Structure 1
């Protein structure tokens, strides 16, 4: 009960105050909140001094209770049983509907990410991963062999047996090598989990064909050899067997895809931007002070406001300097750079041509969907960029640039890598770090963090809809058909078949499948003859009752004739 009281106090301080202020500031009517979530809030407020009742509410709403796992030296960590989590997840009807429509990926968001293991770093250093990951792997094996029994909410034909396993594991390079049993050093020896590349090769070889690729069969031979002779670790780049290899069909070589966020947005792109800024400074074309001044004056759109890059440090042009930005800030800076300094850099400049080449690569890599024919073009672009960049800035060549050589083949294997990157997981991790920093717990931080995260998941998923709502609107006001622009009125009546006296709402912002659309936002709609068409949202009109809503975007289109 002490844990429940502590959890209750944290919820009271961390969630209720922010919820109450948000409801007052935005004049939210409790009747507009889904039933289960409204009951959740009302019960919390009515039982503010009763943590026992609060704990009962959490259990009734399906909160998965974490388990404390003790190790040999009496240290412990927290484990949230994944089988219970999966049963709770599949108890929602909208999950089944999304599976039937094959759009689960489009409807999931950060609120659908949950924690499984919370352990201190020092505990991992003292104990092997096999011991810490044992309960997780045991549950995965059960999920593979026995499955879980859940009710089918679509066909309503009784219970269904669901089986599953691990397809891929998304992690940064250090984490992937640690989990995969590979060497955790990227400054010497074998540095790549996809091939047998040596650190000394990254400045000399610029094609994937120049390297011997790792295969599951060869990797298995390397693991057996290292188990017999530990000195072979340096020769093969393998330290031990992967703990997940006990799962049928799992292979270290194929189960750890590259992470686009850490490789590109926190690796290749920052180093490339540093080389560009250094070149512009040395050539006298543009100074860091001028770039910062123009960035300060640049009008970022609403969608870029939260990712607006911070001012660049003056030492970024030095060999010891670096571009210290987050992944989203780096991407924003990379994309707006032509609009910031494009007018003062000659279009035929060597560095600018290199930027255009890198821009073409990034647009393909970041695409949510790709045609197979584009991969041949991507391979040529990457090899060309690699060859030129090693000459342009040889001191900035790092292993992450080498990983880029494997991307065309790996995209063909895994699909668009954007769907496997760590961006959303890092956002979830930031929540965990924020809780750990603010709770001021010095006794059992793992238990505190796990309890609070599970309470948050309980609230986020206590609604009948577990996934992202199809339509989640923000501030809105009622309007009439005759008050809308004429072209919108004609479209609503003639094309949509909406009555002239229908109830309509003008919405300032709207979230659909995790994407936020707002008035005055600009989006890239399509390409016509290789020219981009941009649209600006003028009005967002919503029609219909809850559950049968129609959304109409009133937009203005612009086709760009000349592109830098």
Structure 2
């Protein structure tokens, strides 16, 4: 399969020695051709488009299985026609149709002998009119078959018994194991596990906790909360199973259980201990939304600023160019005595990070800095910072647990416990999850959802899960880019290499200034380099200590980036820490007249930071980070 040419002017350096696998979603499903219809079977919620003779599932073309096509070109034509008809019927844009169709053509290696460009143009003509589409359906209604797709069980069973065989560089590797962790939107996971999803529908509404809904708003420590256990879950379910009529309904509401979790079919899988709380859904799309709405409402109520002026402050702030920031259309509205606004998860992350500086720049901070609601926000901000940190230790876990307890108490003092969301309670369990699985960012859906945000934004007035189909085919495309037609991995297997922009060659004599460089080899300098999805640019600030959590932190401002083969050096101007501003949770710095050189791979804290100059002062936010210096939690 021929790889598409890169349209960017970047230089890619082959660096397979430093490749990582968790930055790319490389799931490959050979059965993903026909999965627009994503229906749930009552007996098996993971089965879709079943061809079982007893299945009541009806395909979107209402097929009847009669004929198997053997011609590769004919199968290709039918599949592409079917895809385009589905997209056109649901008002897809021409750009969307081009992307979906061409990606599918590029991926399917069995059709490599077909002139895909010619076929694509011919197929487009066939479906140009409604009459043409209807004729195609009537002509081929008996030959288009759905795929039988079973997600999860068969693959996991094979992984547990015989193992999965994967060929890499013409060598077969067998991997054995089992399902380790399930992560997702908590309401979706609760539904999969067979629990009641709405907060008002069950006396014990959270599948994670064996606590009633009234107690959830009053618990501030994880040690005060009783978790569900498998033994008690099995007993509760058996009681429901043997009950009938009204008694069964009462027990379902009492225990919050509707049906038996299908994931219990997996051996040794604990649906409570191995189901993760997703910090994106809990924090960025839940608690942070509530906190900011209450904060803005309080500021407006006390007449420190209007909603219009707050909107202007947020829109006009100079965010980083590579950060997802609130758009120019961001606006705070007042509806039914509530503040309303809309932000994506990544935009919320950026806003939470910079709100202290937004208010400081607008000279609003001095009016609210001593209030309980501002302290509540700062404590939540530190929880977000620790939750998205890449590096943690036992001290991080203890600080997070203590911070959560103090935050919930402060939140209640500022707004009242009735303002708590059910998601607030889940904070008390984050420390335990971090202790079991490590940094919370690695058990979050945020990377996956951001990768497929293009598909998630497509909204059709239909009953087919087009987003699932497009995401799956995109995974096919990514997987196809990693292998040649001879089934050997390409140079971009799992990682396409570091991306370096605007490279300028230096004289070899410059290498003598750095002992890590070879004066006989070509030397380059650049203003920006991207490693594993993290971009370092001139003007950014990095933490350069030789320890992950140093007591006396040393920062360096990137002056230039030097590259020689796989060696990447940062020339840094040192910055001195003046103080940690407790009202902002941000470091105030000053530039020093000295510089150092640091190998980029020696950075213990990998995330670059943006330095902001406000009123002749330099500020840096160490966010995300696995420590907090907020005195109020002590």
Question: Alpha-carbon deviation of 1:111?
Answer: 4.5
SS in 1 for 2:394: coil
Corresponding position of 1:170: 183
Cα distance in 2 for partners of 1:470, 1:404 equals 37
Q: Which of 304, 313, 331 does residue 313 from structure 1 map onto?
A: 331
Given the superposition, is the C-alpha separation of residues 372 and 324 from structure 1 closer, same or farther in structure 2, using an over 3 Å criterion?
same
Q: Does 1:534 align with 2:550?
A: no
> Structure 2 stretches of 5 or more lacking a match?
49-148, 485-489, 582-634
Q: Which of 304, 321, 334 does residue 302 from structure 1 map onto?
A: 321
Alpha-carbon deviations, 1:507-550, whole Å to 9, x = none?
A: 23222223222222333445887565433222111113xxxx21
Question: Alpha-carbon deviation of 1:214?
Answer: 0.9
Q: Does 1:247 align with 2:266?
A: yes
Corresponding position of 1:519: 538
Matching of residues 419-434 of structure 1 within 5 Å: 419-433=442-456
Corresponding position of 1:325: 343
Cα distance in 1 for partners of 2:423, 2:23 equals 28
Given the superposition, is the C-alpha separation of residues 444 and 173 from structure 1 closer, same or farther in structure 2, using an over 3 Å criterion?
closer
Structure 1 residues 189-198 or 249-258, which shifts more?
189-198
- In proportion to residue count, which structure has more helix? 1
Cα distance in 2 for partners of 1:260, 1:443 equals 25
Whether the aligned pair in 1 keeps the contact of 2:27 and 2:475 (CA below 8 Å) is: no
Question: Alpha-carbon deviation of 1:453?
Answer: 4.2
Matching of residues 85-124 of structure 1 within 5 Å: 106-113=20-27, 123-124=39-40
Question: Could you tell me the TM-score, scaled by structure 1's length?
Answer: 0.72
Q: Which of 265, 269, 290 does residue 271 from structure 1 map onto?
A: 290
Q: Which of 377, 382, 390 does residue 360 from structure 1 map onto?
A: 382
Matching of residues 10-409 of structure 1 within 5 Å: 22-23=7-8, 26=9, 106-113=20-27, 123-124=39-40, 128-132=44-48, 134=150, 136-150=152-166, 159-189=172-202, 190-229=204-243, 230-231=248-249, 232-304=251-323, 306-308=324-326, 312-315=330-333, 319-342=337-360, 343-346=363-366, 347-394=369-416, 395-409=418-432
Question: Alpha-carbon deviation of 1:242?
Answer: 1.5
Whether the aligned pair in 1 keeps the contact of 2:482 and 2:492 (CA below 8 Å) is: no
Cα distance in 1 for partners of 2:450, 2:238 equals 38
Cα distance in 1 for partners of 2:495, 2:278 equals 24
Q: Which of 427, 430, 433 does residue 410 from structure 1 map onto?
A: 433
Corresponding position of 2:500: 473
Given the superposition, is the C-alpha separation of residues 114 and 263 from structure 1 closer, same or farther in structure 2, using an over 3 Å criterion?
farther
Question: Could you tell me the TM-score, scaled by structure 2's length?
Answer: 0.65
Structure 1 residues 467-476 or 159-168, which shifts more?
467-476
Cα distance in 1 for partners of 2:37, 2:209 equals 29
Q: Which of 563, 567, 577 does residue 550 from structure 1 map onto?
A: 567
Given the superposition, is the C-alpha separation of residues 535 and 226 from structure 1 closer, same or farther in structure 2, using an over 3 Å criterion?
farther
Given the superposition, is the C-alpha separation of residues 434 and 443 from structure 1 closer, same or farther in structure 2, using an over 3 Å criterion?
closer
Alpha-carbon deviations, 1:96-144, whole Å to 9, x = none?
A: x77xxxxx7x543134355687856872277740544745311210121
Given the superposition, is the C-alpha separation of residues 393 and 442 from structure 1 closer, same or farther in structure 2, using an over 3 Å criterion?
closer
Given the superposition, is the C-alpha separation of residues 193 and 121 from structure 1 closer, same or farther in structure 2, using an over 3 Å criterion?
farther
Alpha-carbon deviations, 1:5-32, whole Å to 9, x = none?
A: xxx9xx9xxx97xx67x25xx3x79xx7
Corresponding position of 1:559: 576
Alpha-carbon deviations, 1:447-474, whole Å to 9, x = none?
A: 6764454234312555234222453323
Alpha-carbon deviations, 1:243-276, whole Å to 9, x = none?
A: 1211111121112110010000111111111111
Whether the aligned pair in 2 keeps the contact of 1:188 and 1:198 (CA below 8 Å) is: no
Cα distance in 2 for partners of 1:302, 1:320 equals 32
Structure 1 residues 174-183 or 312-321, which shifts more?
312-321
Cα distance in 1 for partners of 2:468, 2:396 equals 46
Given the superposition, is the C-alpha separation of residues 417 and 447 from structure 1 closer, same or farther in structure 2, using an over 3 Å criterion?
closer
Cα distance in 2 for partners of 1:468, 1:369 equals 22
Alpha-carbon deviations, 1:473-512, whole Å to 9, x = none?
A: 2332222245x6xxxx5542xx22521x531122232222
Given the superposition, is the C-alpha separation of residues 296 and 503 from structure 1 closer, same or farther in structure 2, using an over 3 Å criterion?
same
SS in 2 for 1:478: strand
Given the superposition, is the C-alpha separation of residues 514 and 444 from structure 1 closer, same or farther in structure 2, using an over 3 Å criterion?
closer
Question: Alpha-carbon deviation of 1:163?
Answer: 0.8
Question: Alpha-carbon deviation of 1:553?
Answer: 1.1
- In proportion to residue count, which structure has more strand? 2
SS in 2 for 1:356: helix
Cα distance in 1 for partners of 2:567, 2:342 equals 44
